[in-house]
Amino acid sequence: PLTLSVPPLSPPLTLSAKEPKAVIKVDSINAAFQPEKIGNPNGLQITYLKDYSTRNIFLYHDNGKEIVDWFNSIRAIQLHYLKVAFPGANDAELMPKLTRNFLKEGYMEKTGPRHTEGFKKRWFTLDHRRLMYYKDPLDAFAKGEAFLGHQDHGYSASPGLPAGTHCNGAWQHGITIVTPERSFLFTCETEVEQQDWLKHFNDVISIQMSPQEYSMEAMFRHKH
């Protein structure tokens, strides 16, 4: 498969090392502009799968054109890969498969799998069917991930927390996500945030899964 070799990068971009720190498969990479999260107008976040987990790389450059060129190059390589993989598809069909923005990011509080642990504030990223949570928005790896499948296969998202849940966190607007393996309990700071997260969760859960997403679900269950 086509791969993208990423040299060791430290802001601003430097290319001094001889060996790459990562070799990334083109079909697993995503790139999104993240000026606010990174704290630089030319910030770029690259994500890819590494050992069944999502790896984040945060880059910026003093020259905005340099970052835009990297972004466009990644998309061009992806499009070439997809044209080879799907020779019968036209550009309009392939474009949605290129780099994408995250559906939603922000803070929520969560408890652990036994639902007896204290609620802790975490940074959440919803990347289509993958919900990842981090201690810090710029962490390289998520502390945990949840896969959101289709509603006909045991996945749901609803307001509130199960009866008897001891909510000792600062926030009180609860969300319960049910998956075939376990339930996830979250709280939001405001009702507006709660409803916005729920809308995004239920939008994803209502979409039929593709063959590639069934493979991702199987991989996710293998990991967990």
3-state secondary structure of 160: coil
pTM: 0.85
| Fold match flag (3-97 vs 104-223) | yes
How do the domains of the chain map onto residue ranges? 3-97, 104-223
pLDDT in tens, 65-110: 999 999 999 999 999 999 998 899 998 889 988 999 999 999 999 9
Q: What sign results for the dihedral spanned by CA atoms 82, 86, 88, 89?
A: negative
pLDDT at 223: 67
Fold of 104-223: PH-domain like (2.30.29)
Residue 179 · residue 147 · CB < 8 Å: yes
Just give the CATH number of 3-97. Answer: 2.30.29.30
Low-confidence ranges of the chain (pLDDT < 70): 1-18, 222-224
The identity of residue 111, as a single letter, is T
Cβ burial of 39 (10 Å; 0-12, 13-18, 19+) is: exposed
pLDDT at 222: 66
Position 16 scores a pLDDT of 57
Distance CA(104)–CA(131), nearest Å, equals 10
